[in-house]
């Protein structure tokens, strides 16, 4: 472990975090209607006023999380509360059991609702984190309610929106990796701020871990399948059944590592390391560098036209997971992946002139044009989460090295 190299990396990470949070505070916050705009171009100029509900929750969470890590700042708390208040006022469909919309207009009129529960997941995270910082009991109640709302339909209760499943269930139904993976992450936030319900959170977290390995991890294929049949069966005769999302797998790795650290499960660390190894070796572009977005588990053509693009968030997840794996195993190969990905990200994603990272690169590393820093799916979440977590982990490693 090269302490000088770690110190230099930490200095860059901290500078990048400062640029990132300033980019969103200066350009994204809606001072008229509340909440955050995320469709911002390279310079931070608004190109669409429609608002992503995912991003209201994610932004509400990240600024409360920064307060948790670095101490409460007035503008961070104000940004978080603005998103929480906007969600409460505009983003819940009260006639559909408080299921949340996916997109709304600038002033909060509903545009679209989806069958997925990720709006509710990020709403729960944001309210829980804000409660953890401020002690606002109403936010804890909201977080608990949304947390259970995510869990209940997943385990058999009817969906009040009436949107129905993605495909006709009599023809095809199944399981998606993202559902237990994201719920595991949400659970870790609730567990940290709400110790009164620790037993519930421990039980559900373990259930998520069990589901991931029971249904989605396919040792015989050497991968994690995004979509499987109801009993976890691999369905390799159509493209959706063969999808591997290496960045998603790698994001799930650090969720598993957090659970392993909480429970002292050393065997889970090794299982998570195997997922990382398979995903990064299969997904890393040997010609241009960076992580491919989708691959086919049998090496056939993926259906998604963006499959060979390089997106910002998988690289954020590599940086978290590789450093966490190094922390937990002390294997130099993971530190090598950390620095390799850091160098790629500095070269291609980072934009010190205006702050934040480009969201979408072509396979050769050039930003799609016109370049953007935010979209319906990109806001203040993956990048500042990575920068803050890596800052803390690098500090811990440097302290250990000094002993």
Contact of 117 with 150, CB cutoff 8 Å: yes
- pLDDT band per the 50, 70, 90 thresholds, residue 403: low
Task: With a cut of 80, say whether residue 322 has pLDDT above it.
Answer: yes
> For 114-123, 178-187, 279-288, 307-316, which range has the lowest pLDDT when averaged over its residues?
114-123
d(CA 195, CA 369): 47
What's the CATH class of domain 1-164+373-403? mainly alpha
Which two three-digit tokens encode residue 38? 């995320």
Write phi, then psi, for 350 (nearest 5 degrees): -70, 145
pLDDT tens for each residue of 148-192: 999 987 776 678 787 877 787 778 889 999 999 999 999 999 999
Question: What pLDDT, on the 0 to 100 scale, is given for residue 5?
Answer: 96
Which two three-digit tokens encode residue 212? 């991931």
Task: With a cut of 90, say whether residue 195 has pLDDT above it.
Answer: yes
Task: With a cut of 80, say whether residue 377 has pLDDT above it.
Answer: yes
DSSP 219-231: TTTTEE-SEE-TT
Task: With a cut of 90, say whether residue 237 has pLDDT above it.
Answer: yes
Question: What pLDDT, on the 0 to 100 scale, is given for residue 8?
Answer: 97
pLDDT tens for each residue of 11-67: 999 999 999 999 999 999 999 999 999 999 999 999 999 999 999 999 999 999 999
Which two three-digit tokens encode residue 58? 């994610």
d(CA 179, CA 198): 21
For the chain, the straight-line distance linking the first and the last C-alpha, in angstroms and rounded, comes to 14
Domain ranges of the chain: 1-164+373-403, 189-368
Question: What pLDDT, on the 0 to 100 scale, is given for residue 13?
Answer: 98
Say what the pTM is: 0.97
- Nearest CA to 373 out of 48, 103, 15 is that of 48
Task: With a cut of 60, say whether residue 263 has pLDDT above it.
Answer: yes
Alpha-helical regions (H) of 284-381: 312-329, 332-348
On the question of a common fold for 1-164+373-403 and 189-368, the answer reads yes
User: Average pLDDT for residues 182-208, to the nearest whole number?
Assistant: 98
Distance of CA 288 to the CA centre of its chain: 25
Task: With a cut of 80, say whether residue 293 has pLDDT above it.
Answer: yes
User: Average pLDDT for residues 369-390, to the nearest whole number?
Assistant: 98
Contact of 177 with 216, CB cutoff 8 Å: yes
User: Average pLDDT for residues 328-341, to the nearest whole number?
Assistant: 98
Question: What pLDDT, on the 0 to 100 scale, is given for residue 156?
Answer: 67
Architecture (CATH level 2) of domain 189-368: Alpha/alpha barrel (1.50)
- pLDDT band per the 50, 70, 90 thresholds, residue 209: very high
Q: Which residue has the tokens 């002993």?
A: 403
Question: What pLDDT, on the 0 to 100 scale, is given for residue 381?
Answer: 98
User: Given CA atoms 124, 125, 126, 129 in this order, what sign does their dihedral have?
Assistant: positive
- Nearest CA to 91 out of 130, 52, 64 is that of 52
Question: What pLDDT, on the 0 to 100 scale, is given for residue 40?
Answer: 98
């Amino acid at each position: 472990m090269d302490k000088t190299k770690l110190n230099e990396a930490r200095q860059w990470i901290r500078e990048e975090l400062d640029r990132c949070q300033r980019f969103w505070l200066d350009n994204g916050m809606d001072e008229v209607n509340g909440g955050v705009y995320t469709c911002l171009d390279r310079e931070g100029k608004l190109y669409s006023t429609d608002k992503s509900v995912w991003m209201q929750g994610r932004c509400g969470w990240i600024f409360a999380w920064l307060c948790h890590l670095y101490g409460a700042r007035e503008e961070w708390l104000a940004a978080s509360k603005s998103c929480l208040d906007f969600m409460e006022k505009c983003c819940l469909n009260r006639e559909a059991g408080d299921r949340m919309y996916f997109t709304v207009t600038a002033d909060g009129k509903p545009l679209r609702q989806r069958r997925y529960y990720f709006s509710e997941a990020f709403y729960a995270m944001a309210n829980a984190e804000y409660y953890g910082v401020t002690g606002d009991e109403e936010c804890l109640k909201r977080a608990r309610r949304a947390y259970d709302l995510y869990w209940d339909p997943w385990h058999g209760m009817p969906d009040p929106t009436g949107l129905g499943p993605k495909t006709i269930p009599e023809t095809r139904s199944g399981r998606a990796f993202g559902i237990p993976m994201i719920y595991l992450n949400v659970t870790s936030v609730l567990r940290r701020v709400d110790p009164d319900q620790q037993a519930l959170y421990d039980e559900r977290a373990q259930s998520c871990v069990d589901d991931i390995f029971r249904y989605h991890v396919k040792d015989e294929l050497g991968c994690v399948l995004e979509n499987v049949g109801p009993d976890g069966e691999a369905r390799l005769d159509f493209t959706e059944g063969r999808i591997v999302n290496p960045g998603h797998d790698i994001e799930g790795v650090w969720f598993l590592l957090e659970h392993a650290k909480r429970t002292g499960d050393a065997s889970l660390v090794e299982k998570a390391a195997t997922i990382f190894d398979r995903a990064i070796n299969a997904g890393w572009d040997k010609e241009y560098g960076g992580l491919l977005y989708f691959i086919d588990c049998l090496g056939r053509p993926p259906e998604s036209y963006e499959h060979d693009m390089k997106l910002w968030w998988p690289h954020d997840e590599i940086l978290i997971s590789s450093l966490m794996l190094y922390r937990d195993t002390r294997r130099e190969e993971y530190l090598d992946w950390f620095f390799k990905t850091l160098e790629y990200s500095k070269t291609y994603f980072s934009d010190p002139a205006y702050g934040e990272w480009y969201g979408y690169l072509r396979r050769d590393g050039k930003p799609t044009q016109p370049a953007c820093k935010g979209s319906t799916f990109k806001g203040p979440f993956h990048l500042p989460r990575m920068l803050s977590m890596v800052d803390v982990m690098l500090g811990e490693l440097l302290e250990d090295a000094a002993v």
